[in-house]
Amino acid sequence: MTADTIPDTPMFDRARQLRGYRLNKATMALRFPERRDAFRRDPAAYLDSYGLTAEEKRAALACDWRELVRLGGNVFYVLKLSAIYPAKMTEIGAHQAGIEHETFLRERLGKK
Amino acid sequence: MAILVGGLGCSHVPSIGAALDKGLMQTPDWKPFFDGIGPGRDWVAAQRPDIAVAIFNDHGNAFFLDRVPTFAVGCADRYEIADEGWGPRPLPAFDGDAAFGWHLADTLVANSFDPTVLQEVEVDHGLQVPMELFWGRPAARWPVRVVPIFVNVIQQPTPLPSRCYAFGAALRQAIDSFPGDARIVVLGTGGLSHQLQGARAGFVNPAADRAFLADIARDPEKLASMSREDYVRVFGSEGAELIMWLVMRGALDRAVRVCHSHYFVPASMTGVGMLVLENAAKAI
């Protein structure tokens, strides 16, 4: 699969892998406690040290999940930002779907 | 020779691990799920496997995009618990079985599968959650040795479903030819339907999930003949990881009996399943 053939479903293909490489590397590194400490001390400097562009930095600092995925972020890497800025997986999902959280839980996941 | 005692299937949703860590099993959100896992745990307790061959995927904790093995086999005697960003979960490290890991690598290559051979590698919720659901949380040491098989289900190209099924047949050959009398169980993990990325995030497909749990027992060829795109369409972009259950199923005989099947939706954003299969030819 090289192109998205299923609507609203970004496949993590060659183009996204290349586009998101630095972003995914910066966020995956948050699995190390000392990297988390470095991020907390100076988030912008942390992201600069991985060579992120201004728009990638903006998206990471704002936890703009939809934008992070658009920039080639894969959820399993960028998700680690939520170790710094707490967010539930369902909130991350609702943000990408462009739906308010409670509505997302009810309409997509069948929660009462 | 070693004995194959059965095949297990289980979701590996991280929020199940969080529910276990926080003791939320009896809350309204979680009770219907945890109430259904008892028979799976009882089966494992009665069968007392010595080795669990666990098929799962890493979630950005062991492998970065600089190297992405399509299939990788753990050949170590120990696997540490990964820190996924929130500190390592309070679980003991897993004991491995290097002898079986190497024998599996040998057997796979002899069958034209060429896995990456792993030594020091940490294991994340993809392995931890199914192990805890079936074995419970041990105070000090897991009562079973683990041989992890990592499958790339994140970066395209992911392996074909049919290839995963054939991989399972080679795994079976390794079990049947392993000297000694170890009791071995095969554990396929992941799924069921879920999508975590894109505007279709939150997609679940309970009807397809229930059909999958039935078909994996009675008609695995149907599931093995689906395309990767079919899996994404039917089960969601992350639910497509269900191809890992086909490795487990491929290790079993064509005829199996279902000892336990449990389904619940949603756990966080995922349909979750637990399945216990035995070869029909196995004495009860």
List the domain boundaries for chain B.
3-279
Q: State chain A's mean pLDDT as an integer.
A: 96
* Composition of chain B by helix, strand, coil, percent to 5: 35, 25, 40
Instruction: Tell me which of B12, B125, B260, B262 is the catalytic residue.
Output: B125
Which among B242, B204, B236, B205 has a CA at the least distance from the CA of B222?
A: B242
CA distance A58 to chain B (A): 19
Q: Which of B85, B156, B202 sits opposite A104 (nearest CB)?
A: B202
B125 in active site: yes
Mutate to test the interface with B, among A50, A89, A92, A106 (most CBs of B within 10 A): A89
CA distance B163 to chain A (A): 16
| CA distance to A102, B131, B132, B248, per residue, from B13 (Å) | 21, 12, 12, 18
B59 Cβ under 8 Å from any chain A Cβ: yes
Q: What are the pLDDT digits (tens) for A33-88?
A: 999 999 999 999 999 999 999 999 999 999 999 999 999 999 999 999 999 999 99
pLDDT at A1: 43
User: A2 pLDDT exceeds 60?
Assistant: no
Which among B135, B146, B171 has a CA at the least distance from the CA of B248?
A: B171
B194 in active site: yes
In B, minimum Cα distance to A106 occurs at B202
What DSSP string describes A6-26?
STT-----HHHHHHTHHHHHH
B201/A97 touch (CB, cutoff 8 Å), yes or no: yes
B204/A108 touch (CB, cutoff 8 Å), yes or no: yes
pLDDT at B154: 98
Please say whether the beta carbons of B160 and B43 come within 8 A. no
CA distance A9 to chain B (A): 5
A33 Cβ under 8 Å from any chain B Cβ: yes
Range B3-279: architecture per CATH: 3-Layer(aba) Sandwich (3.40)
B232 Cβ under 8 Å from any chain A Cβ: yes
B269 Cβ under 8 Å from any chain A Cβ: yes
Q: Mean pLDDT by 10-residue block, N- to C-terminus, for chain B (284 residues)?
A: 98 97 96 98 98 98 98 98 97 98 98 98 98 97 98 98 98 98 98 98 98 98 98 98 98 98 97 98 83
A13 Cβ under 8 Å from any chain B Cβ: yes
Complex confidence, ipTM: 0.96
Q: What are the pLDDT digits (tens) for A14-35?
A: 999 999 999 999 999 999 999 9
pLDDT at B139: 93
Please say whether the beta carbons of A104 and A75 come within 8 A. no
Structural domains of chain A ordered from first start? 14-107 (1.10.700.10)
